Amino acid sequence: MCYLCMVQYKTNRLWGNIMRKLGLLPKVLLAILLGIGTGMIAPKMVIQGLATFSGLFGNFLSFVIPLIIIGFIAPGIGEIGRGAGRLLGLTTGLAYLSTIIAGLLAYLVSAILFPGILEASGASTSYANPEEALTAPFFTVDMPPVMGVMTALMLAFTLGLGAAVIPGDALQKVMVDLRTIVEKLISSVIIPLLPVHIFCVFSNLAHGGEVGMILSVFAKVFVIIIALHLVYLFIQYTVAGQFGRKNPFWLMKNMLPAYFTAIGTQSSAATIPVTLRQTRKNKVSDKIADFVIPLCATIHLSGSTITLICCSMAVMMLNGMSASFSLMFPFILMLGITMIAAPGVPGGAVMASLGLLESMLGFDTTLNSLMIALYIAQDSFGTACNVTGDGALAVITDRLSKSETA
């Protein structure tokens, strides 16, 4: 008996070590596969239990969204404002412009290609709303947020801008401490539980018979997203080559180590040393590279924006929701600002955008959960596009800053 207990203990310990060593992406993919398998064979009572957990976790996410918005946007704006200067303004403007262009490109391609993909898949007629096929939980617990999403956004802008202009740094320190608390909440609670939540959601979807349609559609969407990442990188480096009077293919070749490092780390911040080294190989001055690369790792998320726009439009079209330009353009503009709030953890961009998805596009808890799973499933490629694009902005900033001082 003691021998069996020891074997069980060592097995559990080994499994725990394996799970800790796995990155978020393998965990999410494993959760999706296990969820589909469970949903196909598990009885309704088991699915109800899983739906209860996913409902509780989804309500908790709704509660946390305003805290994420305030905790990341407010200190981010305050920090940018405190270092105000020509170089900062130039870099921030380029990063925001690049993010908006990426979002518009994603919208244009999605608006042209997705209707045909959905129609070809039969999704436009057979897929109405995932909630209609979901099994209800045993019970729900309301967790109303302390404020609405737009109230949180306005409060974050007010506090961030206020901290940038008032003397002293007491308010900024408080906001940075709040950001640290929210980062801990995300990294220690939300991110570890996300695979479990996704497992529960896909179990419910598979039990309702809708998961096959979802995966068949989004396999094609992912191919389009990755192709868009590569096309946009080519556009960025073509422009950078024109500004810097350098061969764009030479510039892109030098940035390949940063691209593949980002695929492995899934973090712009963790890839900064490699991005910085490769940017210097593109003959960007040390002063510009040392300033632009760390800053853009926080505020320039063009690849993540492409992914969010494509995934959100696909989800909306699948559910018969409007995805018109008049609706998506304000969302893209706000997304460019909200990306400042993306924390330095895998999946941070989609976590920061949940409030906008909810308030501007009308996403509910189920659709937000689907967006999280879809986004994280290709987060590595979005991050790789982000950091590689930072090198192009550094080349442009280096050239423009030299022109101003000439």
* Angle, vertex CA 311, rays to CA 307 and CA 312, nearest 5: 115
Instruction: Give me the pLDDT at residue 80, please.
Output: 62
Sequence ranges of the domains in the chain: 26-400
The DSSP line for 192-228 is: HHHHHHHHHHHHHHHHTT-HHHHHHHHHHHHHHHHHH
Q: For residues 241 and 322, what is the distance between their CA atoms, to the nearest angstrom?
A: 38
CATH number of 26-400: 1.10.3860
The answer to whether 142 and 63 have CB atoms below 8 angstroms apart is no
Confidence of residue 24 (pLDDT cuts 50, 70, 90): low
What's the chain's Rg over C-alpha atoms?
Answer: 22
State the Cα–Cα distance between residues 295 and 259, nearest whole angstrom. Answer: 17
| Structure tokens that stand for 223 in this block | 């191919």
Band of pLDDT at residue 225, cut at 50, 70 and 90: very high
CA distance 160 to 78: 4
Q: What is the pLDDT of residue 25?
A: 63
pLDDT band at 15 (very low <50, low <70, confident <90, very high): very low
- Rounded to whole angstroms, how far apart are CA atoms 393 and 98? 9
Residues 268-288 have a mean pLDDT of: 83
| Share of residues in the chain with pLDDT > 90 (%) | 17
Give me the mean pLDDT over the 224-251 stretch. Answer: 92
DSSP per position, 342-354 = --SSTTHHHHHHH
Q: What is the pLDDT of residue 191?
A: 76
Question: What is the Cα–Cα distance from 112 to 104, expressed in whole angstroms?
Answer: 12
- Cα 296–chain centre separation: 15
CB 313 within 8 A of CB 323: yes
What is the mean pLDDT of the segment spanning 385-405? 84
Q: Treating both helix axes as pointing N-terminal to C-terminal, what angle do 211-244 and 86-120 enclose, rounded to 10 degrees?
A: 140
Q: In angstroms, rounded to a whole number, what is the distance separating the alpha carbons of residues 147 and 149?
A: 7
For residue 125, name the pLDDT band (cuts at 50, 70, 90).
very low
Q: Please give the DSSP secondary-structure letter assigned to residue 341.
A: G
- pTM of full prediction above 0.95: no
Average pLDDT over residues 109-131: 65
Burial of 34 (0-12, 13-18, 19+ CB in 10 A): middle
Centroid of chain to Cα 209:
28
The amino acid present at 203, given as its one-letter code, is S
Buried/exposed code over 88-124 (b: 16+ C-beta within 10 A; e: otherwise): bebbbebbbebbbbbbbbbbebbeeebeebbeebebe
Count of C-beta atoms within a 10 Å radius of residue 17: 10
